[in-house]
Structure 1
Amino acid sequence: MANPEQRPIGDVSVPLNTGDVRGFKKEMGRLLEDPLGGAERLDQFLGLNIYTWVELPSILGILFTMEERDMIRHSGMRVWDRDSQGPDQGDQKWPMQDPGWNNQNERHRQNMSDLQWMIIRGIREAVPKGQNLGKAVSEHQGKDEALEDWLE
């Protein structure tokens, strides 16, 4: 019998269950209503798993509208470019087409992990802070209320 310490370490891929992702969508809430809470819940949902490039866009496609996905992608790439010390740019870390990353390759696993990080950070940064959009839509100026008073 071979020494267990000499065996190569591999990554086991567990298939995603679409029903679980759809169920999570109900828990997560809307992006514009609570981007920080949504990012936190998604981060917990994804856990320590490293999902493939094919799986992550599928998850995002179930959870977010096309406009939200675009906002998340652009924000995630902007954060990566701002905060990253590595040579890769955001568009290299979040390619538009399947880059063929193999989860058995350490560098590719790092790329998938970086992409997951970019998604979570992109969600946090996508919605401007300090805005309560739900309240903004529901507020109306009173008939006899001065504009200056209403804006306060």
Structure 2
Amino acid sequence: MKKLWLAGGCFWGVEAYFQQLRGVLDTTVGYGQGQAVNPSYEQVCSGTTGHAEICELTYDEKTLPLTKVLEHFFRIIDPTSLNCQGADCGTQYRTGIYFLDKQDKPVIEEFIKTRQTAYEAPIVVEIEPLACFYRAEDYHQDYLKNTPGGYCHVDLTKAIPEERR
């Protein structure tokens, strides 16, 4: 079992996309990489806390290796868009890959380096050790499961049937 934290715009879509994949054991949405302690959604949206909307991903690395997690992540984000994904704009919607396991960093960096050749613009995805993560309010957890037809900038159909639970 491993953990990785992904910021890909609105955390509702990132969570819903990864929840459907084989090998994903758990997801939790929250706020990370900012200065405020245990911020509220309203504080994060103000842009003053420095936090990004993040999805904590717990996964089975034997079923879903780190490189596959990253491939999925790149399916659902525009890695060249700074602080904006879909209609969501602001520093809280930046893209990022955050880790605790130091062995993940070179794998992530190599993945980004290899992917850069597919883009004319530079990839602006943050790659950092996780500084902090605070669980978001309950109504954000499993939001798209609990709110059919709720807003989502992520195309949930990008996971092919063989990859789904």
- TM-score normalized with structure 2 length: 0.26
Who wins on radius of gyration, i.e. which is larger?
A: 1
Higher strand share: 2
- TM-score normalized with structure 1 length: 0.28
Query: More relative contact order in 1 or in 2 (CA 8 Å, sep 6+)?
Result: 2
Higher helix share: 1
